[in-house]
């Protein structure tokens, strides 16, 4: 892997993690902040390694498999009969699914 002249990443501090947690609206204990400081520092380190990979001459892509369309064609067909659709429903009434109220 080629070396980089870029400065090494700065040390991730507890205050950096606290700031990120605040932005994400996450309440974290000091122990959680310390745990995630280590995990985030590791992730940033891996990103730094990827940043240093020589990609000169490599074509940009969003897919390594060169697949164009792997889904079946959307073709109309007759609907299933309601009784068949509801056969395994845990709770139903007539031809309807019964579910708990979402909003009260």
Q: What is the pLDDT of residues 67-83, one digit of tens each?
A: 777 788 889 999 998 88
What local confidence, expressed as pLDDT, does residue 9 receive? 56
Cβ atoms of 1 and 53 closer than 8 Å? yes
> Domains of the chain, with CATH numbers?
14-51 (1.10.20)
Q: Evaluate whether 18 touches 28 at the Cβ level (below 8 Å).
A: yes
At 52-68, the pLDDT tens digits run 999 999 888 877 777 77
pTM for this one? 0.49
pLDDT at res. 104: 77
Q: Which residue has the tokens 């009434």?
A: 93
Residues 6+ apart with CB under 8 A from 79: none
């Amino acid at each position: 892997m080629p070396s980089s002249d870029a400065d090494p990443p700065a040390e991730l501090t507890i205050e950096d993690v606290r700031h990120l947690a605040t932005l994400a609206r996450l309440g974290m204990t000091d122990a959680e902040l310390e745990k995630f400081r280590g995990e985030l520092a590791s992730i940033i380190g891996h990103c730094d390694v990827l940043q240093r990979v020589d990609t000169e001459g490599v074509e940009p892509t969003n897919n390594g498999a060169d697949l164009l369309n792997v889904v079946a064609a959307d073709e109309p067909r007759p609907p299933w009969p309601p009784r068949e659709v509801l056969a395994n429903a845990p709770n139903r009434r007539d031809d309807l699914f019964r579910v708990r109220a979402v909003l009260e």
